[in-house]
Structure 1
Amino acid sequence: MTPYSATTRGVRVTVRSFYLADQSDPEEGRYVWAYKVEIANEGRETVQLLKRTWLITDAQGRTLRVHGEGVVGEQPVLEPGESFEYTSGTPLPTPSGFMRGAYHMVVTGTGEAFDAEVPAFSLDSPHQSGGLH
């Protein structure tokens, strides 16, 4: 799968998505994807991920906003040169869609808050009629 990447204040977020045919049931209107995220601190300051916000949009334009603490139960601290990877997933009622979002970060030395962009990435399945890019 094509990686999608964005960098904000030295924090590079790279995402790859994968359609999970074994967890999906197209006849029931359930399509499931996994996505693998790498968050890399390419800057000079230590940062911590505190919260996340996702906007998950299906093929009919309906958007679900998901906001919460950390990612996969963690609030990773990344020193310069360090990275953190995790895998998560999302279901949709349509055979395609896309996601985008932000990680709400803080610079540990100064307490300065900023949002690291999570680039928009496609959720494509073999059941769609065309790509949603």
Structure 2
Amino acid sequence: MPSSGASAENLRFLDYLIYEPGRTVVLFREGVHFLVPAPERYAVNKLSLSFRRLTDMLGRMKAVKDLFPAALVFEALVETRHGDELVDAWEEAWEREGAWKEGIASGLSKLPKNGVKALEKLLGPEVVERLLKKS
């Protein structure tokens, strides 16, 4: 944005993450209102992005930092009966181009067991197993 003197970086996959955000409030004084990503989109996005981390020590630590909350959100969505939203978000991500599929399959291979089990409940064990074989 040269006319304003500001610059911005195009963040990959942001369109997926910010689609239909939710509203929340941080309790500070009068309250601060925020828009946050839908939990199912956040988790799928984290799963897909984890595979893009560098293979050095810091990159591996960041990948774990991506996958652990993704697994917890997958599990929570199943437990709170919001699996339909997760399935919809999963299918939309899977229908995107190759980088998404590669990221999802690779991230799934490193996802903690609680996340894998949650996805198996929603997608079926055969779907998860097929994706694990792709990675």
Question: Which bin holds the TM-score, normalised by the shorter protein?
Answer: under 0.3
Q: TM (normalized to structure 1)? A: 0.26
Q: TM (normalized to structure 2)? A: 0.25
The structure showing larger relative contact order (alpha-carbon pairs under 8 Å, at least 6 residues apart) is: 1
Q: Which has the higher strand share?
A: 1
Q: Which has the higher helix share?
A: 2
